[in-house]
Structure 1
Amino acid sequence: MRWSCKCCNFSSPNQRTLIVHYKLKHCHQARNCPLPCVYADCVCSFRTESSLKKHLTRDHSQARSKQVTARLNCELCNFSETCSDSQYFAHLKIHIHNKETVKCPYKECRFQSSVYSTFRAHKSKKHHLCTVDNFRENLYQTFIQGTLNSESTNFETHSDDLDLTDYFIEDLDLHDLLQHKVASLLLRMQTHLHVSKTTTQEIIDELCSISSVVEEYTPKIIESVLINHNCAVNSAVTAAITEIVKKVNPLSFLSKDGPFGSEYKRETFYKKNFKVIEPIEYVLDTSSRRKFVYIPVLKVLTELLNRSDVIDKVLETGHIERVEHLSQYKTYRDGLYYKDNILLSSKDLSIALGLYIDDFEVCNPLGTSKKKHKICAVYWVISNLPIRYRSSVQSIYLACLCHSNDVKKYGYGAILEPLIKDLEVLEQQGLYVQKLGTTVRGTVLYVSADNLGAHSLAGFHENFNVDKFCRFCLASRQDIDIHEVKERVFPLRTVESHKQDLLELKRHQFVSVNGVKSDCVLDRLSHFHTVQGFPPDFMHDLFEGIVPRELSLCIKSLISKRYFTIDELNSIIESFPFKFTDKTNRPNPISKSFASKNLLVGIATKTGHY
């Protein structure tokens, strides 16, 4: 329903908007003109706003509007109720859980399924913009239902004077929107742009100074605009507009009295409005005050799965990969380890997590503080996401931070204990996802790490000069000198053989058995095992291992045959028109001494461009 002005063509769906229009646009009070009733069939008019509001409350409080709703029917049962499309799909979910095949309710769609994740993925992909109006005609019937008009506001609950500032802020939700926008900008400055708290506060203080200058000249500017448009200048109207401009000014939030005036106020707002999940500090040793921090994986995962953009991508990926890629090897889902995992390969939706562990230096790795402040970090990612999202930094989440020296001293068992407990809950009990209305279970599918980190966490020898140095097979150093390294030459490690090695290790108190020094703490999980859960280190094995050596031998051979010289090759590398991000990964010029070393020096991203 729209309310129309009796003096011009203005109309609005809100009564209060029309009254503000009367007051500002036509200046009825300034011209001493009566205010007409907002109802078209009412001839009453009033001298003051308070009289008009009392009239609306007294004579038009019972006004009704007609609202069109729909009664939705189910093809599989006697369900027939007035409900939204989301409530209707919740009903269809019951049939799917009963192993019934449900047809898509939308027009000209022949899709049907008995798997809820597949059904939801289809709706998200094909009908995400559809409404009840797009349902097949036999599934719904419209009828008229009398409801109280939401615009018939009881003005007695408000003050006698109309507060223009409150009207604009409440009606448009502009206040909250601007507040969240400013808060988001300040938070990104610190987290993404790495602006320090001190610098952020200095920027805020300068912006407040600029805002105070603007506020000083605002009344004069408003009066000038009113005069230029032949409007009567009223001090009350000017003051009201000035107050509105002040409140919708984003810089007003940065004042000392505003919600972002200090670091404490900003952090309080972040925690209250942005669902901040704070890290938990654990003490390893009270005497030496050794600690580590852990960000609860279950809490973060729950928040993510209840976001529509995340859960839709998870459901969509599961449907596409299971249906379209049955005869192709395109993702981890096509491998034997995934298919042998009872939890992850089931028809019900399950979450596959990928862990990543690595050390990094906080200080200069070549200086006097080398290894003193070295940090071990554990990250995780939802592997169900499509590859293009899974590989972005925004999709990788931190789980744990600790000193690398503490890992060596106290072991992974103490550091990863809270993470293991959360993962056990995820495996056994699962998480309730409100968006799906069901509980979803999951587990760790793989752990990505360099060879040193993988062997350290998995319990293998970290020295690769030992006899049994491989975590995938039982090849010895003597064997690789005699036999060619290729598939099916050396016996592979299996779950059974690894368990036997651990039994021998504990029974005889050996230092190691077949390269195994200890068990892996992740083996506490029911659906993860060390032998299957640590994939090869692709970057170090290939791009910083085999590939540079093979390339050096090939280039050395081509130069010896006089196809080109080293200077000609370096000139081509230097002039090659690399595009976009490849420009930063341009290969380094090849040293003239590379032939003696049989190795090209460079990092993995540059080696791949040769």
Structure 2
Amino acid sequence: MMFRCFVCKSSFVTVQMLIRHLKVFHAFYPGKKFQLMCDQTGCHQRFWTFSGFRKHLHNKHSAKSLDQFENEPVIVENEPVIVENEPVIVDVSDEPVVNLIPEQPENSQSCNETRQHTQEMCASLIANLQGCGVATNVITTVVENMEELVEELHSNVKDDVVKLLSNDEEIRTKFDDYFDNLENPFSKLNTEAKRKKHFSEKWGIVEPVEVALGVRYDTRRNRTTGTYDQVPITDKFVYIPLLQTLKFIFTNQEICDHFVQPCEKTGFYKDFCDGNYFRDHPLFSEKPNSLQIQIFYDDFEMANPLGSKHGIHKVGSIYFVLRNLSPKINSALMNIHLLALFHTEDVKKYGFDLILQPLVRDLKVLECTGIEVPFSDEPVYGTIAQVTGDNLGLHTLLGYVESFSANNFCHFCLVDKQTSQTVFRDDDPRITLRNKALHDQHCNDLMVDPTLPSTFGVKRQCLFNDLQYFHVSENYAVDIMHDILEGVGQFELKLLFAYLSDNKIISKTDVCN
């Protein structure tokens, strides 16, 4: 059988020789305008990858008759790639012929395990690229190039081995069959769908769920008529199921080994479990193995934050970490898990309750029923430990006023703006700390009189308050970056160093150093 080049009409004995000819003599390599055409017996199907072209030739044209090529010369002049050297003649007249490749090798199971291990190594390489945030089209290009590289290596090794063999047709045929059946480890990973299927079967994947928020009408150009029509668009957000994510996390034995038990009382504040809130918590104090879920919320810009599209494409994101793991483990990005992605503009239109509903539903199951984990014979329960974020994100998520020039701007207490200038301790009698009763009263006042924009800094009820073991008034997380590190901290240090220098406690040289 012969395979014809669609460019110069040359004919080749094998598919690999044709592909090598296309690469070397016609410089066909994957790119934006890369395209191959089949020119076998009038077939003009087009391909955008060498792997697809190769499969097509093997499946559709490998069994074609040679009659149609009898009158066509095989062009091999000036083509060093397809010229084959004369095989090495070995005199084996006095020696028995040895079957180099037995039909049923005894170590076939070991060979299969080796091939599977090789494919897993290739899959791990691709998974690492995806974990580093490499774009999907870049990964696909890399895999296609690696696939072609492996095919080229297989072909070169086959040619070199065949040249070392005798003229025994049976041995040559067995070697040909062996190399033809040798799978390319990247062939099962050369598309996004194949990679997704492989990762799902091998390691498992927690699939995101699209949740509809509502329908809006937007203007779209009709390609047929050329006019602009009003079409319905479904507003959606993506939710990654919490319970499935937790079960998937604990399939990792290393995570189970690093699951941290509550620390003992030491008198020092080193972690969340050292505070009175944790020690008096109705769930964490009664069930030491309970999952401490810390939620983080923030928005980020998809476009240039300084450009004209500022704010239009802003996306809100909710993440979580397990406080049961050590800070060293939680500092790795792989242990910061995504919960939800949504368009920030949808929050203004639909509110946060619709976005939080799937999460709160899973949290209620975790509080009441728990989940099965490998390191415990009994179900493990859990709830929200704290909700973190910047000041704007916390106030937006928890239902407080989002303007920090408001009269009641603090989510810890009910101090007004004027009094806050003279109050510096939380035990000051002018301070009234927020609690469940006061917060519920403020929310009820808003329900009685919907015209009120806010009451004592409260704008709305938060869906997290429906949980059994968490209430927004007991969320004691602060925005240390904006409040201290990028806020008042630098001014306080300036005043401190000025005082120390003026009183000759330290010199200006020490301050500079």
CA positional deviation for 1:295: 0.7
Aligned to 2:467: 525
- In the alignment, the residues of structure 2 paired with residue 383 and residue 551 of structure 1 have an alpha-carbon distance, to the nearest angstrom, of 32
CA positional deviation for 1:243: 6.9
CA positional deviation for 1:281: 0.7
Write the deviation string for residues 482-516 of structure 1: whole angstroms up to 9, x where unpaired: x3412311222222222232233333443322221
Matched, 1:541 2:483: yes
Matched, 1:284 2:213: yes
Structure 1 residues 200 and 246: CA distance shift in structure 2, 3 A: farther
Corresponding residue SS for 2:236? strand
Choose which of 148, 153, 167 in structure 2 pairs with 1:209. Answer: 148
Aligned to 1:300: 245
Aligned to 1:310: 255
Aligned to 1:480: 420
Q: How does 1:187-198 map to 2 (within 5 A)?
A: 187-194=127-134, 196-198=135-137
CA contact (8 A) 1:219 1:238 kept: no
Identity over the aligned pairs, expressed in percent? 29
Paired letter, 1:344: F
- In the alignment, the residues of structure 2 paired with residue 487 and residue 233 of structure 1 have an alpha-carbon distance, to the nearest angstrom, of 94
CA positional deviation for 1:202: 2.6
Matched, 1:505 2:446: yes
CA contact (8 A) 2:292 2:382 kept: yes
Structure 1 residues 300 and 555: CA distance shift in structure 2, 3 A: same
CA positional deviation for 1:328: 3.6
CA positional deviation for 1:187: 2.6
Matched, 1:495 2:436: yes
CA contact (8 A) 2:208 2:241 kept: yes
Paired letter, 1:310: I
Structure 1 residues 435 and 538: CA distance shift in structure 2, 3 A: same
Paired letter, 1:211: V
Q: How does 1:358-377 map to 2 (within 5 A)?
A: 358-377=298-317
Choose which of 285, 289, 304 in structure 2 pairs with 1:345. Answer: 285
Write the deviation string for residues 307-348 of structure 1: whole angstroms up to 9, x where unpaired: 22112211xx20xx43x4454432211212112221122145
CA positional deviation for 1:293: 0.6
- In the alignment, the residues of structure 1 paired with residue 423 and residue 324 of structure 2 have an alpha-carbon distance, to the nearest angstrom, of 38
Structure 1 residues 480 and 253: CA distance shift in structure 2, 3 A: same
CA positional deviation for 1:476: 1.3
RMSD (Å), alpha carbons = 3.2
Structure 1 residues 306 and 188: CA distance shift in structure 2, 3 A: closer
Paired letter, 1:485: F
Choose which of 187, 195, 203 in structure 2 pairs with 1:274. Answer: 203
Aligned to 2:12: none
Q: Which runs of 5+ in 2 are unaligned?
A: 1-94, 218-233
CA contact (8 A) 1:174 1:248 kept: no
- In the alignment, the residues of structure 2 paired with residue 373 and residue 341 of structure 1 have an alpha-carbon distance, to the nearest angstrom, of 40
CA contact (8 A) 1:454 1:534 kept: no
- In the alignment, the residues of structure 2 paired with residue 212 and residue 504 of structure 1 have an alpha-carbon distance, to the nearest angstrom, of 72
Paired letter, 1:217: N
Q: Which runs of 5+ in 1 are unaligned?
A: 1-29, 34-47, 49-159, 573-610
- In the alignment, the residues of structure 2 paired with residue 390 and residue 435 of structure 1 have an alpha-carbon distance, to the nearest angstrom, of 19
The normalised TM-score by structure 1 is: 0.59
Aligned to 1:448: 388
CA contact (8 A) 1:558 1:564 kept: no
CA positional deviation for 1:397: 0.5
CA positional deviation for 1:165: 7.1
CA contact (8 A) 1:446 1:535 kept: yes
Paired letter, 2:338: L
Aligned to 1:383: 323
- In the alignment, the residues of structure 1 paired with residue 146 and residue 417 of structure 2 have an alpha-carbon distance, to the nearest angstrom, of 67
Aligned to 1:168: 110
- In the alignment, the residues of structure 2 paired with residue 466 and residue 425 of structure 1 have an alpha-carbon distance, to the nearest angstrom, of 37
Corresponding residue SS for 1:389? helix
Paired letter, 2:459: K
Write the deviation string for residues 282-325 of structure 1: whole angstroms up to 9, x where unpaired: 111134421111011110101112322112211xx20xx43x44
Write the deviation string for residues 258-303 of structure 1: whole angstroms up to 9, x where unpaired: 3123333222222322311111111111344211110111101011
Aligned to 1:431: 371
- In the alignment, the residues of structure 1 paired with residue 173 and residue 129 of structure 2 have an alpha-carbon distance, to the nearest angstrom, of 35
Aligned to 2:340: 400
Choose which of 190, 194, 198 in structure 2 pairs with 1:261. Answer: 190
CA contact (8 A) 1:353 1:443 kept: yes
Structure 1 residues 525 and 220: CA distance shift in structure 2, 3 A: same
CA positional deviation for 1:205: 3.0
- In the alignment, the residues of structure 2 paired with residue 408 and residue 513 of structure 1 have an alpha-carbon distance, to the nearest angstrom, of 19
- In the alignment, the residues of structure 1 paired with residue 167 and residue 275 of structure 2 have an alpha-carbon distance, to the nearest angstrom, of 77
Corresponding residue SS for 2:401? coil
Residues 392-401 or 210-219, more deviating = 210-219
Q: How does 1:83-162 map to 2 (within 5 A)?
A: 161-162=103-104
Corresponding residue SS for 1:465? coil
- In the alignment, the residues of structure 2 paired with residue 371 and residue 266 of structure 1 have an alpha-carbon distance, to the nearest angstrom, of 34
The normalised TM-score by structure 2 is: 0.70
Corresponding residue SS for 1:430? coil
CA contact (8 A) 1:175 1:247 kept: no
Paired letter, 2:111: I
Paired letter, 1:522: F
CA positional deviation for 1:463: 1.0
- In the alignment, the residues of structure 1 paired with residue 267 and residue 500 of structure 2 have an alpha-carbon distance, to the nearest angstrom, of 40
